[in-house]
Amino acid sequence: MTLPETGAGSSPIRVLLAEDQTLVLGALAALLSLEDDLDVVGTAADGAEALMQVHTLRPDVLVTDIEMPRLSGLDLAERVRQEAPQTRVVIVTTFTRAGYLRRALDAGARGYLLKDAPSHELADAIRRVHAGGRAIDAGLAEEIWDAQSPLTEREIQVLRAAETGRSTAAIAAELGIGVGTVRNYLSEAIGKLGAENRAEAARKARERGWL
């Protein structure tokens, strides 16, 4: 369902765009600027810059990619929720796994669209989110409840550390837990993911959007 466009007497919706690919960023800005009720007030090439602009420009809606330098879109959404709750977040990405959608919603995002969606769908999503609703890619929305991660928060922390090649002792020291405890968490995660080793477990969890 598409919400009606903002009336002529209303202020336009102020939009900030965050995207590290220059061509994509320019295309999004150009397309959204064609909408009479949307005003692109700023653009950012990475997550940290976007967060600074959120505080400076106080946009109504932030549209962001997931993979960006310095601060990912998911981390950015979480920071915006904590530091600037008046700004609502819409994520536009190539990630089609429902695990990423689940993480985005948990981080506070109100919208999640794929980059190949028509521009009018993004404009409608911005309007819907600004009005207090949600805008989720229809195909992913059907899968989300089957995409719950089986991993505990501590297992996720251990896998993230293992993903970088750290030793068991280094992970234990970083997290402030025993070496044996780290081994237990890794063993549990490997079993849950049907992996052969810690590297494969981290890869599978990453692919499913759980890390």
pLDDT at 100 over 90: no
The pLDDT tens digits for 148-202 are 678 898 999 999 999 998 999 999 999 999 999 999 999 889 988 888 899 989 9
pLDDT at 16 over 50: yes
pLDDT at 1 over 80: no
The pLDDT tens digits for 126-143 are 999 999 988 888 777 656
Give the domain ranges of the chain.
13-146, 153-207
Spatial separation of the C-alpha atoms in residues 100 and 103, rounded to whole Å: 5
Spatial separation of the C-alpha atoms in residues 188 and 65, rounded to whole Å: 32
Query: What superfamily would CATH give domain 13-146?
Result: Response regulator (3.40.50.2300)
Would you state the CATH architecture of domain 153-207? Orthogonal Bundle (1.10)
Nearest to 109 by CA among 42, 49, 146, 62: 62
Query: How far from the centroid of its chain's Cα atoms is residue 206's Cα?
Result: 14
Tell me the two tokens of residue 189: 């995660």
Amino acid 147: pLDDT: 57
Percent of the chain beyond pLDDT 70?
Answer: 92
